[in-house]
Amino acid sequence: MDRLSTSLAALFASFSAAAAPTIERADWASAFSAQGVRGTFVLYRPALERFEVLDPARARQRYLPASTFKIANALIALDCGSLRDQHEVFHWDGKAKMRRAWERDHTLDSGMRESVVWMFQEIARRTGKARMKEGLQRLGYGNGDIGGGIDHFWLQGSLRISANEQVDFLRRLREGRLAVTPRSARLVRNALVVERTPTYTLYAKTGTTGGTRDAVAWWIGWIERDATPTAYFALNYAPGPRTPYAARFAIGRSILHDEGMLP
């Protein structure tokens, strides 16, 4: 897809989003305040073609994607061949890592599940600046800026994306509307499954920046019932020094439970 086609696709997507009704949900703030933070929550219900948003201004503001970028990183890599498939093994270098779960070999599925930073940094280095920049343009991902180093631009560099854009990106991924091969989209969607039950499947990804002026914590994803998406969501907030990592799940699950999306 050329740049003109990419720009037109992004423009049409923005028109579609603007046409969908939006309801402001100030009542959701209590789920954030219970965790001692303030943030935004964006929910899109396909059956109703309706957005519901806590703090629309924050939902439009762009932040570092942190590890939520692993979704786009993997899509671009699979498409250009810097990641072969879901079976390719990335070998741990034997050195101590930030998390114990990172101190072993990983594949796409385990690397996504455990959010293995070193693995996806290696994938980005293999992809390289030119292919990464072109891939972001094709995906229409955030501001598309890879300044800050090929293996750091989504963690501490210049890449930015909003909660509204995260939901749009996930919708296009699930609906097959991204400029990637069906194979790439399928493998990444499969890697995002975090919970599968007889009644629903939850696809999701976390992200957290550290040591930045605009620190942010993310949880984004979608829910399916009978292989049909029932909700897409994205939340973010500014974590404090003592905000637990699991606060995002407490917030997100509380809202999704109250809205009848999760048990």
Which of these is catalytic: 67, 82, 115, 184?
A: 67
- Taking CA atoms, 110 is separated from 49, 89, 103, 113, 252, in Å, by 33, 10, 12, 5, 23
- For residue 120, give the nearest of 70, 194, 184, 68 by alpha carbon: 70
Residue 233 contacts by C-beta under 8 Å, 6 or more apart in sequence? 41, 42, 43, 44, 167, 219, 220, 221, 222, 223, 252, 255, 256
- For residue 227, give the nearest of 175, 180, 262 by alpha carbon: 175
Amino acid identity of residue 49, one-letter, is E
* Distance spanning both ends of the chain, measured CA to CA: 41
Phi, psi (degrees; rounded to nearest 5) at 171: -60, -45
- For residue 253, give the nearest of 225, 228, 219 by alpha carbon: 219
Decide if 67 is catalytic.
Answer: yes
The catalytic residue positions are 67
